[in-house]
């Protein structure tokens, strides 16, 4: 019989299950250049898409579709749409940032065995939706929840996922035959990888640092912070632990796959 400590609710998962969930969260990465030419079995693909389908949605409208991209011809069309937008994006940055941007690997469209485009049908259950009556973008956020479910499930399965967002929307819709009334939310590159980085690549490249969590938490009113709050002190300890573990992993010897 499982015993529950005084600080745990009877509905809490076991310590091992909780640790696995947090490991998934903290080790999830936006994968771009580490994909292997290894097929993803249908049973694995099914599990992660099913996990995505069980995401929360406003008014239970389930506005998503999952467009699975497997053919190289379709991938090439998607990649051409990316390349056009990528060139445009480079010109939006100045100086050193532009040079850094051009060096970044920002997609794995052709290398990944599978692409999955998650969409949002904003009219799926009609014009009036419970929970969307005043905040009209809640259906879009619902589809983003499906993205996160898929991403975390994929990480637990050992799959890398890379979210490619550098597209002109109309060009991506054209490449995938998506009707004008359907909003593409995320084009995801999915596949097994040689390794996962210890830190997000943009953080490791110095593009931006991880923000201190204590700067992001307010109490009761916007902008009202309190560094002496016990919660803030705990948040700082927890973030320091996660960052220290990532920094430690950066200095571990590479495996044969990582060194290749």
pLDDT for the residue numbered 48: 98
Domain 28-201 coded CATH 3.90.226.10: no
Q: What is the 3-state secondary structure (H, E, C) of 175-239?
A: HHCCCCCEEEEEEEEEEEECCCCCCCHHHHCCCCCCCCHHHCCCCCCCCCCCCCCHHHHHHHHHH
**CA–CA–CA angle 194, 187, 26 (5° rounding):** 50
pLDDT for the residue numbered 134: 97
* Strand order through the sheet with 66-69: 66-69, 114-121, 182-192, 159-164
pLDDT for the residue numbered 255: 37
pLDDT in tens, the chain (260 residues): 444 466 789 999 999 999 999 999 999 999 999 999 999 999 999 999 999 999 999 999 999 999 999 999 999 999 999 999 999 999 999 999 999 999 999 999 999 999 999 999 999 999 999 999 999 999 999 999 999 999 999 999 999 999 999 999 999 999 999 999 999 999 999 999 999 999 999 999 899 999 999 999 999 999 999 999 999 999 999 999 999 999 988 755 443 333 22
Q: Residue ranges of the domains in the chain?
A: 28-201, 210-252
Please say whether the dihedral angle defined by the alpha carbons of residues 25, 194, 32 and 243, taken in this order, is positive or negative: positive
pLDDT in tens, 143-201: 999 999 999 999 999 999 999 999 999 999 999 999 999 999 999 999 999 999 999 99
pLDDT for the residue numbered 216: 97
pLDDT in tens, 62-72: 999 999 999 99
pLDDT for the residue numbered 250: 73
Tokens 């100045």 locate to 94
End-to-end CA distance of the chain: 48
The DSSP letter of residue 149 is H
| Separation CA 175–CA 167 (nearest Å) | 11
| Separation CA 116–CA 143 (nearest Å) | 13
Tokens standing for 258? 């990582």
CB 40 within 8 A of CB 115: no
């Amino acid at each position: 019989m499982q015993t529950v400590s005084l600080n745990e609710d009877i509905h809490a998962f076991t310590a091992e299950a909780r640790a696995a969930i947090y490991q998934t969260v903290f080790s999830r990465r936006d994968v771009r250049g580490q994909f292997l030419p290894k097929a993803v079995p249908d049973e694995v693909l099914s599990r992660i898409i099913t996990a995505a389908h069980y995401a929360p949605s406003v008014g239970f409208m389930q506005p998503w579709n999952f467009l699975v991209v497997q053919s190289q011809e379709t991938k090439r069309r998607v990649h051409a749409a990316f390349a056009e937008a990528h060139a445009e994006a480079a010109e939006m940055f100045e100086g050193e940032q532009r040079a850094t941007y051009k060096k970044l690997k920002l997609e794995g469209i052709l290398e990944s065995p599978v692409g999955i485009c998650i969409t949002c049908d904003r009219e799926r259950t009609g014009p009036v939706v419970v929970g969307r009556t005043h905040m009209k973008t809640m259906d879009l956020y619902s589809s983003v929840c499906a993205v996160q479910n898929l991403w975390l499930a994929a990480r637990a399965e050992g799959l890398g996922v890379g979210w490619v967002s550098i597209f002109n929307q109309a060009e991506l819709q054209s490449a995938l035959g998506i009707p004008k009334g359907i909003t593409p939310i995320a084009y995801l590159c999915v596949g097994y990888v040689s390794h996962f980085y210890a830190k997000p690549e943009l953080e490791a490249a110095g593009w931006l640092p991880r923000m201190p969590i204590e700067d992001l938490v307010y109490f009761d009113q916007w902008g009202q912070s309190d560094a002496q709050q016990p919660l803030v002190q705990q948040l700082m300890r927890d973030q320091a632990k996660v960052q220290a573990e990532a920094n430690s992993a950066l200095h571990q010897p590479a495996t044969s796959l990582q060194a290749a």
